[in-house]
Structure 1
């Protein structure tokens, strides 16, 4: 038997807005908590040759440090997915690519309108 700590979220009119867990509340206050139930997958993995698997949620600073890709900072995006969306100007389809400073970034996986991952190749 597993004990879960949950709370019902009530809006300003007394209606039920949703539920939350104790972990969710604590994470909002102090940041992400990593425990034994969280699955950790790296945001960037080198593949064969000059190819990398890159998670869409990777921070631009982290990607620039890892690959020296030189993506400019902006107030309109923090992640590589955000940068890609700004460049293409619409929701892409799997397989669509852009070129960035001698690198080709191709959308690998989508989850609805969210870009989950890319394959990035140095030309």
Structure 2
């Protein structure tokens, strides 16, 4: 899934501690995910559902989110085409991607909350692995 960035919220005792926005310095990231088209058996209408694959937390992001990191795919058209190829059923070639990895430089910005999106600290740079 192409995106400009992603957000993370760290919770303590079921209350948000802080919110962060992370964007790619170069303007685009690829989130590894799964999607499926569903057909309503009664109406025949179709719907598409998607989910982002999450991995264990990346050490460089632990100060932002301690529970998980999204699967960030490298911007490599050959890899992306293979990832999207529905005929591939043996996923062994994708196993190396299932380790936390940051393939591009990110800018992290703490914000007050997603609905108002006001910065509350200076942005920081997180370098790729």
TM-score where L is the length of structure 2: 0.20
CA radius of gyration, larger in: 1
TM-score where L is the length of structure 1: 0.21
Report the structure, 1 or 2, having the larger helix content: 1
